[in-house]
Structure 1
Amino acid sequence: MFQLGKTIVSEDILEKEFVCNLTACHGACCVDGDAGAPLNEEETKILDEIYDKVKPFLRQEGIAAIEAQGKWVVGTDGELETPLIDNKDCAYVIFDGKTALCGIEQAYNQGEVTWKKPVSCHLYPIRVKDYSEFAAVNYDRWDICSDACALGKELEVPVYKFVKEALIRRFGADWYAELEKVAEDLKKDEPRGRR
């Protein structure tokens, strides 16, 4: 772990490799698990504002779940998150054949909204936990992402590079530039032959 400004960062995001492999996992992270996508308070307001523009991109089951539960919910752990369909799929999930995609992101791609998707989804496999004095930035290991780890290793793409756009979105370009410096310094300090 190391500190960058008001964040405590796991070295795993620099050392582990990851590239989403949708052809292998079919977007399982959007349909597996026991909770919706984590949201912050600002994002709940955005969902309230953009829902009418996103709704045409969603499945009927998603619309029904959102209309029954709300555009966002408070999870069992007291955290804000997206609602689920039958305690499985995120209510905002749509499918392209067998592959799960984000209905919000599809609306974004079509120019209907200017918000891509929840930052927690954009950051995955990084999870950020906010505390009063700092934010913890960690690599989240999930067995359904084993193909993404294998592809990342094959392509030699560290986690932090895979989610560069999302990290800049969450923490800013200056923070990311500092992260790159730490990564470069870490690489210089590696014993020869490691990697």
Structure 2
Amino acid sequence: MIAIDNKLISDSVLEAQFVCDLNKCKGGCCEDGDAGAPLEIEELNELISNYEVIKPYLTPEGIKAIEKQGKYIYDTEFGWVTPTVNSGICAYGIRDEKGIIKCGIEQAYYDGKLKWKKPISCHLFPIRIQKSQQDEDLEYVNYEPRQDLCKAACKLGKQLKVPVYIFLKEAIIRKYGEEFYEALAASAEVVKK
């Protein structure tokens, strides 16, 4: 485990290899789980203020779930999360013609309608961030792929020799900044030796 600022990063973030293989997993992380996508407090306002821009990208089932449950809900185990359709797919998820689940929020972002890409928990997956129970400033940064769902991504990562932190460079920089990422990359070089 390495420490950068007030973050404890598991060695597997630096050493494990991972590249999403959407053709194999079909974006299953958007529907396989115990709740919707975890949300940070500031992201709640993003959903409120941008919902009308996001709504045209959503499925009728997703819109219905959001109208019934709300743009976000509170889960006693996970905190603020996105609502789901019948405890399955994220209400903001959409399936393309190949059956791959994509994010309606992200599609609006790619079309230039939003400046917010999607929830950071989704962007960082399979990295999961947890706050310390004892020290509210301390965060644990762990690599937690889903055992079956992410098999193809783990295999592709090994094949391409792409470490998790490199695959998730954009998301890590979005969350913690360029300076943090550079420190992380430098730490990875030290660990390699």
TM range (shorter): over 0.9
Matched with 1:100 is 101
Mapping of 1:120-139 within 5 angstroms? 120-131=121-132, 132-139=136-143
Runs of 4+ in 1 over 3 A off after TM superposition: none
Match of 2:181 among 173, 176, 181: 176
The amino acid across from 1:8 in the alignment is L
CA distance in structure 2 between the partners assigned to 1:42 and 1:130 by the alignment: 16
After TM superposition, give the deviation of residue 141 of structure 1 in Å.
Answer: 2.5
The amino acid across from 2:191 in the alignment is L
The amino acid across from 1:149 in the alignment is C
Matched with 1:111 is 112
CA distance in structure 1 between the partners assigned to 2:86 and 2:177 by the alignment: 36
Matched with 1:191 is none
Structure 2: segments with no counterpart, 5+ residues: none
Q: What SS does structure 2 have at the residue aligned with 1:137?
A: strand
Q: What SS does structure 2 have at the residue aligned with 1:181?
A: helix
CA distance in structure 2 between the partners assigned to 1:112 and 1:68 by the alignment: 25
The amino acid across from 1:99 in the alignment is I
Q: What SS does structure 2 have at the residue aligned with 1:180?
A: helix
Q: CA offsets per residue over residues 156-190 of structure 1, 9 Å max, x none?
A: 000000000000010111011000110000111xx
Matched with 1:187 is 192
After TM superposition, give the deviation of residue 32 of structure 1 in Å.
Answer: 1.0
Alpha carbons 2:6, 2:139 under 8 Å: kept: yes
Q: What SS does structure 1 have at the residue aligned with 2:170?
A: helix
After TM superposition, give the deviation of residue 119 of structure 1 in Å.
Answer: 0.4
CA distance in structure 2 between the partners assigned to 1:147 and 1:81 by the alignment: 26
Alpha carbons 2:43, 2:119 under 8 Å: kept: yes
After TM superposition, give the deviation of residue 76 of structure 1 in Å.
Answer: 3.0
Would you say 1:140 and 2:144 are equivalent positions? yes
After TM superposition, give the deviation of residue 133 of structure 1 in Å.
Answer: 2.5
Q: CA offsets per residue over residues 66-121 of structure 1, 9 Å max, x none?
A: 01011011013150110010001100000112110000000001111111000000
Matched with 1:192 is none
CA distance in structure 1 between the partners assigned to 2:43 and 2:5 by the alignment: 23
CA distance in structure 1 between the partners assigned to 2:131 and 2:58 by the alignment: 30
CA distance in structure 2 between the partners assigned to 1:112 and 1:180 by the alignment: 32
CA distance in structure 2 between the partners assigned to 1:31 and 1:104 by the alignment: 15
The amino acid across from 1:138 in the alignment is N
After TM superposition, give the deviation of residue 31 of structure 1 in Å.
Answer: 1.2
CA distance in structure 2 between the partners assigned to 1:79 and 1:94 by the alignment: 23
Q: CA offsets per residue over residues 9-37 of structure 1, 9 Å max, x none?
A: 00001110000000111101001111110
Structure 1: segments with no counterpart, 5+ residues: 189-195
Mapping of 1:1-195 within 5 angstroms? 1-77=1-77, 79-97=79-97, 98-131=99-132, 132-142=136-146, 143-188=148-193
TM-score w.r.t. structure 2 length?
0.95
CA distance in structure 2 between the partners assigned to 1:130 and 1:170 by the alignment: 14
